Structure 1
């Protein structure tokens, strides 16, 4: 299946087919969704692909999972009046692992009861996400939703898309709560509540941990600048080097793309780091595989740590030391912030930071 000459991801094909079955009544309310094995056979897809499609249906409130029984089409809500209707817009959901449990925390929070949620995110291919997000925002504005939760997009060719989205909501008088990151590049702030973690403190904490574990030359893997979460973690990394009077010679020499084996080899030979702070676990996992392929011992030759504590962090070839984001609590804090913003629109915008936890595993060398 293709769109505009480009292949549509297989999980999206499965998702759209099941969604049509639900909306048409072929899968009736309260009815059981075919098992993963049945869906694998029907679509000729892997269990991972089918599982992702079903999770997306669950995030959109179309199905629910019952332990020991299977997955069922959700029944329409009772006729009780809905207090508020909120829009949720998370365009990067398919690629950033923290967003799925974050949204689940938002929808499952006690404060969310009695409210309706419209979903937007994850349905477009990467090259279409900006235009799809803009179209979804126009729908929210036309429906006059009571508020919008928005996780600004990363890696955009047009950096103004996030700003246009928040300004359009602002002009329509719709309250906005940002998830995880600002819509503006640092140091701009914007007049919107933001719920997430203190990325600067996170970068400081993980760097400090590596230094106290015995590292002397700590490098940083973060990709391009301009992403506010990564920029904050990079700033914290530099502050920790300075505060602990550590060798800061690598602070201006970021690592190359973690999957580029030749470039990583050249970097190691030129700069000789003995530890690396990775701005997120996804990059840490890619780098770990590259380092192991190059014959490096982790943590013997290079200590490694990341941020996020995604589901697979503990199951990497060397279990990854990382900072755990309490993503479900971020979702719960977001709905509380939205309800308070609606009740007190005159209050100044706030950054609401949820406390993180350092999870120590083998990769940092602190565990014998």
Structure 2
């Protein structure tokens, strides 16, 4: 039988069943959640599916993981009173590795205590996220939440104004907004909202500077051309570094093709002969690394590489990746502080709050870590 296009994803079935068990008291506060093996047997689902459902429960603050002990239902605060109710909307959570620890940092921040958080986002199908995000914002407005934390959608089709519609609707409803990681507008526009993240232009400059100082002469850039504000900022920093350092700027206008297109990458290497690549994020760096190795290129001997984010697997790639580490949990904590300050002082100018990154030197850049 063909599965209906409207069928509920299996992970969501597991999530909703466990949430009902928690809310009804069948899984009491402080009680242990069944193990992954037990949940796999109960729901006839894979470990990946069960793991995602439990992760979403954790992101909503319903359960907590204890290393070596398992997962437990979180106890409610000592007081039942809730000072504020905030909406959290991160539509691209499934595809962008930094968002899960960022949201965990937001929910775990000391200043989050006494406040309630409503969760939205994480739809698995990218095509469904814009509509789902807009629907969720309407729910937040109807509930008159006290503020919204938003990570604007990236990679929207040309002419899709979902991000602008969302922030405009929250403005009209008088609901404070703090942006996570990126602007709702194309780079370099920012809009009249507090934004908490990293300074993408300076990060792009720093990682390019490192490769040039390591000996790179022809540095290429790998990043989406779809108008993602974070990537556009990193690309601007990359170009600025080449110019300031007097490096060859030939490849600044010749972006690398998709890292999964082996033939196109091979043609690019043959035509333009880069000896280093700045990757806008570690996810792209990992894909490009596998392609370069499959083409017989040695890293870092033939091509030096560096990324941005320091995701969990960056140090476990075939050639451990040099990258700029984002302190994503700190971004979440800073976002809570920014929201509470915005509520207390709504008349103050909007701010960019940048958390400091650090360079993690590994084998891919050809420089020994100190």
**TMscore range, shorter length:** over 0.9
Q: Deviations for 1:177-196, whole angstroms, at most 9, x for unmatched residues?
A: 00000001123221100000
State the 1:49 CA deviation.
3.6
State the 1:90 CA deviation.
0.6
Structure 1 match to 2:135: 135
| Contact 1:181–1:229, Cα closer than 8 Å, also in 2 | yes
Question: In the alignment, is residue 233 of structure 1 matched against residue 260 of structure 2?
Answer: no
| Contact 2:94–2:124, Cα closer than 8 Å, also in 1 | no
Question: Aligned partners of 2:228 and 2:351: how far apart in 1?
Answer: 20
Structure 1 match to 2:320: 319
State the 1:64 CA deviation.
1.4
Q: Which runs of 5+ in 2 are unaligned?
A: none
Which stretch of the first structure deviates more once superposed, 210-219 or 39-48?
39-48
Structure 1 match to 2:336: 335
Q: TM-score, normalised by structure 2?
A: 0.94
| Contact 1:225–1:231, Cα closer than 8 Å, also in 2 | no
Residues 11 and 299 of structure 1: CA distance in aligned 2, closer, same or farther (over 3 Å): farther
Alignment coverage as a number of residue pairs: 368
| Contact 2:188–2:233, Cα closer than 8 Å, also in 1 | no
Question: In the alignment, is residue 155 of structure 1 matched against residue 155 of structure 2?
Answer: yes
Structure 1 match to 2:32: 32
Superposed, which structure 2 residues align to 1:218-367 within 5 Å?
218-367=219-368
State the 1:21 CA deviation.
3.8
Tell me the SS of whatever aligns to 1:306.
strand
Residues 129 and 24 of structure 1: CA distance in aligned 2, closer, same or farther (over 3 Å): farther
Tell me the SS of whatever aligns to 1:184.
coil
State the 1:61 CA deviation.
1.3
Q: Deviations for 1:211-248, whole angstroms, at most 9, x for unmatched residues?
A: 11111110000011411100000000000100111111
CA-based RMSD: 2.0
Structure 2 match to 1:116: 116
Residues 16 and 123 of structure 1: CA distance in aligned 2, closer, same or farther (over 3 Å): farther
Question: Aligned partners of 1:331 and 1:55: how far apart in 2?
Answer: 17
| Contact 1:223–1:256, Cα closer than 8 Å, also in 2 | no
Q: Deviations for 1:116-149, whole angstroms, at most 9, x for unmatched residues?
A: 1111111453221111111111111111111110
| Contact 2:218–2:276, Cα closer than 8 Å, also in 1 | yes
Which stretch of the first structure deviates more once superposed, 35-44 or 106-115?
35-44
Which stretch of the first structure deviates more once superposed, 81-90 or 314-323?
81-90
Q: Which runs of 5+ in 1 are unaligned?
A: none
| Contact 1:8–1:125, Cα closer than 8 Å, also in 2 | no
Question: Aligned partners of 1:11 and 1:270: how far apart in 2?
Answer: 46
| Contact 1:124–1:132, Cα closer than 8 Å, also in 2 | no
Question: Aligned partners of 2:170 and 2:11: how far apart in 1?
Answer: 31
Question: Aligned partners of 1:336 and 1:187: how far apart in 2?
Answer: 25
Q: Deviations for 1:263-282, whole angstroms, at most 9, x for unmatched residues?
A: 11111111111100000000
